[in-house]
A and B are shown apart, each in its own frame.
Chain A
Amino acid sequence: MTSGGIRIKAWAAAVCALFAGAAWANPRPGQLNMTRGVTEWSYRPYLLNNVALGVCVAIGILVFGAMFIAMFRFRKSRGAVAEKWTHNTMLEIVWTTVPVLILIVLAYMATGGLTTFADTTGAQMTVKVTGYQWKWRYDYVDYQGKPVEHVGFMSRLDALSDETRELRSGLDPKAVQENGENTYLLNVDHPLVVPVGVKIRFVITAGDVIHSWWVPQLGWKMDAIPGIVNAAWTNIKEPGVYRGQCAELCGQDHGFMPIVVKAVPKAEFEQWLAAQQKPAAAPAPAAAGSAAAPATAQVPAAPAHQG
């Protein structure tokens, strides 16, 4: 009895872990559901996903249940004789109006979420994200109302993943690890460093073809389109390393331009930013990018009016 109870508890815990995902930052083996994420916003898609899934499962049980009952009850081999009716006005009214009511509830939830997401005002920091074939560039535009000068760098696939992903490289993707976590194709040379607890506005564009900037933990993706500057925002609650990938097909190495966001406490971020702004410290990451970024100049500059 007790051992059975324990086993059930262990199972329940495992199932909860698979579905809830709050304790895990990045994709993990056997993950079944969307992540809850680490921002104010990211809970909304997660909740909406769960509610919509629940609605679908409930309707599915009713409809498929009725089908299976019909398949067992109304078999010719069981002597069922076909009836002649082809209408039932009451039923038809019910199954037209009830779905409409359910949809209204879902639409209400979704609309509330959208208006929150669309509001990029009141950000305390701006980062410009530029997609290139096949790397990202991050430029820090302003922080706490003050413009940030000369902090910008390219961020590309880490060397170990890059070597391992060569065709028939003979290297084991499982061996690509960082701090005990598998980071194969989800690690970069220079992560985007941001503070927690700060509303960060991203202005997103691209230098060559369309890319899409997606970190599941932040709860959204936004296309990076040459000639267009898109805006989005985030406010990360917990420090951590959050990994994502380019989500819009952008050529042969589309699968090999990951995104890594390193969220750190505010004080630590300010130190890091100050170090980056010192001329001596700046060249290291920035130089790597400037040589390979001929298209930067064509991209419209990020709006500078953000306060």
Chain B
Amino acid sequence: MAHAATHDHHDGHHGAPSNFFVRWCMSTNHKDIGTLYLVFSLLMFFIGGSFAMVIRAELFKPGMQLVQPYFFNEMTTLHALVMIFGAVMPAFVGLGNWMIPLMIGAPDMALPRMNNLSFWILPFAFALMLSTLFLPGGGPAGGWTMYPPLALQTDSLAYVVFAVHLMGISSIMGAINIIATILNMRAPGMDLLKMPVFVWSWLITAFLLIAVMPVLAGAVTMLLTDKYFGTSFFNAAGGGDPVLYQHIFWFFGHPEVYIMILPAFGLVSEIIPTFARKPIFGYKAMVFAIASIAFLSFIVWAHHMFAVGLPLGAEIFFMYATMLIAVPTGVKVFNWVSTMWGGSMTFETPMLFAIAFVILFTIGGFSGLMLALVPADFQYHDSYFVVAHFHYVLVTGAVFAIIAATYYWLPKWTGHMYSEFWGKVHFWNSVIWVNVLFFPQHFLGLAGMPRRIPDYNVAFANFNMISSIGGFLFGASQLIFLGVVIHCVFFSKKKAADRVWEGAKGLEWTVPSPAPFHTFEVPPVIHDEELAHGHVED
């Protein structure tokens, strides 16, 4: 039945359209759209990275050498917006697009045309947002959190608000698509509790997206009407409340943080068992931990606001709720370590990045636990300690997992092996310089350096210089990654096997490499022992 239906609707189902425009702009193919997302994400990663280079260059030594303070603020704001909404989130959507149908034995995403739309909104959203840099008045400079009243002072507010609306629409459509695909298009025998952890993590993440993106849209729309239509949602003089915005924003913002890390948990849970040649430890505990973290993410938002003067009861509640997150997160880390224990490990590039993820993400988790303690947070809050914390969880967390997944599946996507040597060069450079970049920022924060400042006292000079050096070299290291990917896609002669990695399990390895334009037009027959988790008892 499914076979016949596919035949009716796909004219070119035997291969990709030869016309470039038709293939890429009008695509309804989950693999091509996945590729588009990933290429877009890589582009944004370098654009956002170049903003970070400006920041680190200005902070290289005390005194203002390169840019005006206002432009510095534009850089910090756009760096965050581009990296969060342009690099990390689209990368996960791209990986989900490519891999979820392959992992659950579906022929494509459930809603292919909407899939095309949700991608093609993004370039326009970012063109709108980044164009403000070239317009009179400059780009947004009030921080990515856009707190009023400061955000209302920027001339580019309307551009950013509409860009955020577009990104939100794109994310919501992507999330609907993923949920519809996972719930409706699994091959017979692919029970929910046999799905790969990555698919589970995306299912839960998609619900988070649908829940919170409209909240963000509401918050920024109120900013828009406050600025242009005379409302006073956040204007104290008109009876509004600036703190209200922060509550609304972080009700979106904290689940958003987990939107950027839960799929990373899923990716690492695929990669470690493959290279340890041992099934994941505690599959159900892993799924349950992701679900618990997702639930908790809705009741911890005010831990971003411990210094706004919350009532005592609120501070205590949000502190306890935040500390609870350490329990399921700890379970995940312990399970990854237990998966490695007793395995038969090899250390190809994806495994190296996955192990670095576990260690460095855990360091980010530790500082997160410290930040949850309100009295200590009165010191940490809005200092470089926070900057160090969220870069450990986002760069060595989310970004490292994305890079690991790229190396892991690149041979499946392209049919060629990447250069293992250059992959390892990329890994060691990344893992060393990222620590040189972010570890000293803990010290800066503890010593009292506030975040988002373009210049600082001489006492902060030495660690800032170390951090900047690490930043430049970490940035340069990512050019190696670009080189490895380009080489693998266009020049590599080494053919990849269908089952690229010896210990790889799951449906995606049963299709040829490169994965043909259409896969699973006939649902696969599922043998539990071939699945990553199918033979897990209890």
- A residues apposed to B, CB below 8 Å: 26-35, 44-46, 48-49, 52-53, 56, 59-60, 63-64, 66-67, 70-71, 74-77, 80-88, 91-92, 95-96, 99-100, 103, 106-107, 109-111, 113-115, 117-118, 164-169, 171-174, 176, 182-186, 204, 208-210, 212, 214, 216, 219-223, 225-228, 230-231, 244-256, 298
Knowing A110-B376, A226-B236, A230-B309 are in contact, say whether A29-B462 is a contact too (CB < 8 A).
yes
The residue on B at minimum CB distance from A167 is: B64
Interface centre among A164, A183, A225, A228 (most CB of B within 10 A): A225
B344 is an interface residue with CB less than 8 A from chain A: yes
Q: Taking chain A's interface residues, is the majority helix, strand, or loop, or is none over half, making it mixed?
A: mixed
Knowing A67-B355, A83-B343, A221-B381 are in contact, say whether A254-B149 is a contact too (CB < 8 A).
no
Knowing A92-B285, A96-B327, A223-B308 are in contact, say whether A74-B340 is a contact too (CB < 8 A).
yes
Return A72 CB to nearest CB of chain B, in Å.
10
Return A35 CB to nearest CB of chain B, in Å.
7
Q: Tell which of B147, B282, B342, B374 touches A114, judged by Cβ atoms closer than 8 Å.
A: B374
The answer to whether A33 touches B383, judged by C-beta atoms less than 8 angstroms apart, is no
Knowing A27-B457, A103-B326, A252-B68 are in contact, say whether A173-B63 is a contact too (CB < 8 A).
yes
A219 to B142, CA, bound (A): 26
Given contacts A174-B458, A255-B450, A298-B237, 6 further A-B contacts (CB under 8 A): A26-B459, A31-B447, A82-B277, A169-B64, A221-B381, A255-B454
The residue on A at minimum CB distance from B285 is: A92
Return B289 CB to nearest CB of chain A, in Å.
10
B360-385 CB mask vs A (1 if < 8 Å, else 0) is 00110011011001111011111100
The answer to whether B149 touches A86, judged by C-beta atoms less than 8 angstroms apart, is no
Knowing A86-B282, A244-B448 are in contact, say whether A182-B341 is a contact too (CB < 8 A).
no
- B residues apposed to A, CB below 8 Å: 62-70, 73, 141-143, 147, 149-150, 153, 236-237, 240-243, 276-283, 285, 307-309, 312, 315-316, 319-320, 323-324, 326-327, 330-331, 333-334, 337-338, 340-347, 355, 358-359, 362-363, 366-367, 369-370, 373-376, 378-383, 443, 446-463, 503, 536, 538
Knowing A29-B459, A70-B343, A107-B323 are in contact, say whether A86-B309 is a contact too (CB < 8 A).
no
Total A-B contacts with CB atoms under 8 angstroms apart:
311
Residues on B with beta carbons closer than 8 Å to the beta carbon of A164:
63
Residues on A with beta carbons closer than 8 Å to the beta carbon of B147:
209-210, 248-249
The answer to whether A165 touches B312, judged by C-beta atoms less than 8 angstroms apart, is no
Knowing A167-B68, A247-B450 are in contact, say whether A49-B376 is a contact too (CB < 8 A).
yes
The answer to whether B150 touches A48, judged by C-beta atoms less than 8 angstroms apart, is no
A220 to B448, CA, bound (A): 11
A247 to B308, CA, bound (A): 12
The answer to whether B446 touches A33, judged by C-beta atoms less than 8 angstroms apart, is yes
The answer to whether A182 touches B64, judged by C-beta atoms less than 8 angstroms apart, is no
Knowing A33-B446, A209-B153 are in contact, say whether A245-B453 is a contact too (CB < 8 A).
yes
